[in-house]
Structure 1
Amino acid sequence: MPNEPPYKQLYDEQGFVIIPHLIPEASFKELVDAAECAIARTRSGEWKLRRTVGSQFPPYDPESPDSWGVQHVMHPDMGEPAFAQWYTSDPLVNAAKSLLDCSEDKLQMELFNMLINPESHAFALRWHRDDVREKATEDEERQALNIWHHGVQWNTALYEDSCLYVVPGSHKVPRTPEQRALSSTQDPPENPLDMPGAIQVTLKPGETVFYNNNILHCATYDPHQKRATLHACMGDTRGGATRARNILQHGLFWMKEPRFRDTLGERGKKMLERLVKMQESVNGDLGYSQLN
């Protein structure tokens, strides 16, 4: 990524960075069309793999009438090849390599979901870190934050998106007492900007925010604000068992099916092979079976 801002430096220092233009111009409409089809199938009840209002984390309630996310958009049953094509595209892969500081032969395919606006219910996620429990002591939190998970997570907006709130730099340090008080509860915040140090992240269509998943963050979902944001992650094989614990809990068994592999180009097939290899290397020790 020559002659561009120091994205890697900003990412390391802030815990997040916004990068524009990672969707090739010729691909933007294809992705929007694929996203709208996926959203319509989810809202109609045809697509069952969804995040439901009322649940921040799995398991999601299949009886919930409203959704805030579409899961596994690369699944062959979704029938939208634009998602996998973009996930393995040059601009996105080059950005991931730069932020992970690794070569392409270390990249592994991971999760690809989509965040959407609920149709009729306002919803919010509480302040959290993805891989540090909210009740962790200060010492436990400091120890967890010192572990590099060899992965990068991102949101790419297809429509303007102001849902995400983060506390810059919080991926490096334990919470202050004030921050702990506002993030130790299961309740979403009344006003996310009450969190000391918090900022609201606004993305224009086509912009991507990459963020360390242990940055302190939350999100709000407005049923009156259209949202279709591509939410995914990519890993570095050096993460090993630590990376496996983050990823293999998400029901990726379908990714070992030949009919999924057959939808991928050569780059995608190699990234998938590294994911399967990771699963096979840890399954006996850690008991993960989601890819079996």
Structure 2
Amino acid sequence: MSPIKETYDSQGFVVVPGLISSIDFPKLQEAADTIVNRTREGSWPHRRTVGKQFPPFDNDHPDSWGCQHVMHPDLGKPGVIFSHWYTSDALTRACAELLQCGEEDLQLELFNLLINPLEHSFALRWHRDDVKENALPEEEKVALDQWHSGVQWNTALYEDSCLYVVPGSHKVPRTPEQRARSSTLEPPSNPMDMPGAVLLTLKLGETVFYNSNILHCAAYDHTVKRATLHACTADSRHGAARGRNILQHGLSWVNDERFREQLTPKGRRMLDRLLDLQKNTSAEDVGYSLEG
């Protein structure tokens, strides 16, 4: 077992530096700036709005904390740049290592951008991405035991000190005190009040891979620039296990032929596995994982 896989299995996350080449880094920063500007001026409608923590997102607030669907063909050149990064050799090798699969098994999924709001600091409540806050301990245990088919990752284009996690919590139900601090829809006033919590600071260019059912939250300071790539990749051999968590974000646009054309051959094969997931997931199986 590799060192990054061993750490990932035991802690629920691992930080890996150096996945972005010196040639690609300024391209990714420029692409991010373009999308952020479009989102803030209102010409890119797919955004995460302040006041809404989880999908479905709305337009009830003018300030944004995220840009959705950054590989979308309507974005033009930035979408192509992000598509090529998502399917880059360094990144897909790391995903395959953590998922213990071949690169030929990888499935294309979500790719978004987390940004600082301009006028309002914002926080997410403590949560697991696909386990309800009121799940009983035995329900949590079943869900955690089944959640091994995908990996979530954040790559920092600027230093990022927003994500809090409880190491090891991807394997065990919450303690009573942890449950008390993660059973409401309200974000914490101080994330470090959660027993076992640590703050993950990502340096420029570092990527944290994490199990998205680890207990985690985030706090966004509107005064500090943030542009963090936020995505997930899956092992397609697990079939429809990822359906609800992925398709709740609205991915009909991946059927656009323009999207296929902007992908590398590897990316097209990853896309085909996502399209198979869409076909094999019924509408009644796609709901929203969390509220808030």
* TM-score for both structures, normalised by structure 1: 0.95
Q: Any stretches of 5+ residues in structure 1 without a counterpart?
A: none
User: What's the CA shift for 1:104?
Assistant: 1.2
Q: Any stretches of 5+ residues in structure 2 without a counterpart?
A: 288-292
Segments of 4+ moved more than 4 angstroms: none
Residue identity in the other structure for 1:214: N
Residue identity in the other structure for 1:37: T
Matching residue of 2:110:
111
Q: CA–CA distance in 2 between the matches of 1:52 and 1:39?
A: 13
Structure 2 counterpart SS, 1:25: coil
User: What's the CA shift for 1:239?
Assistant: 2.1
Structure 2 counterpart SS, 1:77: helix
User: What's the CA shift for 1:284?
Assistant: 7.3
Matching residue of 1:156:
155
Structure 2 counterpart SS, 1:251: coil
User: What's the CA shift for 1:63?
Assistant: 2.9
Q: CA–CA distance in 2 between the matches of 1:129 and 1:229?
A: 20
Q: CA–CA distance in 2 between the matches of 1:56 and 1:28?
A: 29
User: What's the CA shift for 1:192?
Assistant: 0.5
Matching residue of 1:120:
119
Aligned length in residues:
285
User: What's the CA shift for 1:277?
Assistant: 1.3
Q: CA–CA distance in 1 between the matches of 2:164 and 2:73?
A: 33
Residue identity in the other structure for 1:197: G
Residues 40-59 of structure 1, C-alpha deviations (whole Å, 9 max, x = no match) = 00000110000000000112
CA contact (8 A) 2:111 2:229 kept: yes
CA contact (8 A) 2:244 2:286 kept: no
Q: CA–CA distance in 2 between the matches of 1:114 and 1:143?
A: 31
Q: CA–CA distance in 1 between the matches of 2:262 and 2:53?
A: 31
Matching residue of 1:255:
254
Structure 2 counterpart SS, 1:183: coil
Residue identity in the other structure for 1:223: H
Could you say if the C-alpha distance between residues 287 and 18 of structure 1 is closer, same or farther in structure 2, counting changes exceeding 3 Å?
A: closer
User: What's the CA shift for 1:268?
Assistant: 0.6
Matching residue of 1:229:
228
User: What's the CA shift for 1:12?
Assistant: 0.5
- 2:10 aligned residue (10, 13, 16): 13
CA contact (8 A) 1:149 1:243 kept: no
- 2:40 aligned residue (35, 39, 43): 43
Structure 1 counterpart SS, 2:25: helix
Matching residue of 1:56:
53
CA contact (8 A) 2:150 2:234 kept: yes
User: What's the CA shift for 1:107?
Assistant: 0.5
Residue identity in the other structure for 1:152: V
User: What's the CA shift for 1:285?
Assistant: 7.7
Alignment of 1:1-292 (within 5 A): 6-79=3-76, 80=78, 81-283=80-282, 286=285
Residue identity in the other structure for 1:60: F
Residue identity in the other structure for 2:66: G
Structure 1 counterpart SS, 2:276: helix
Q: CA–CA distance in 2 between the matches of 1:150 and 1:31?
A: 27
Q: CA–CA distance in 2 between the matches of 1:116 and 1:217?
A: 18
Q: CA–CA distance in 1 between the matches of 2:86 and 2:58?
A: 28
Q: CA–CA distance in 1 between the matches of 2:254 and 2:118?
A: 30
CA contact (8 A) 2:11 2:167 kept: yes
Could you say if the C-alpha distance between residues 285 and 130 of structure 1 is closer, same or farther in structure 2, counting changes exceeding 3 Å?
A: closer
Decide which moves more: 69-78 or 241-250: 241-250
User: What's the CA shift for 1:61?
Assistant: 2.4
User: What's the CA shift for 1:160?
Assistant: 0.2
Among the aligned pairs, what percent are the same residue?
A: 62
Q: CA–CA distance in 1 between the matches of 2:285 and 2:62?
A: 35
Could you say if the C-alpha distance between residues 274 and 121 of structure 1 is closer, same or farther in structure 2, counting changes exceeding 3 Å?
A: same
CA contact (8 A) 1:118 1:223 kept: yes
CA contact (8 A) 1:151 1:239 kept: no
Q: CA–CA distance in 2 between the matches of 1:285 and 1:49?
A: 24
User: What's the CA shift for 1:278?
Assistant: 1.8
Residue identity in the other structure for 2:173: P
CA RMSD across the alignment: 1.4
Q: CA–CA distance in 2 between the matches of 1:175 and 1:242?
A: 23
Q: CA–CA distance in 1 between the matches of 2:284 and 2:224?
A: 45
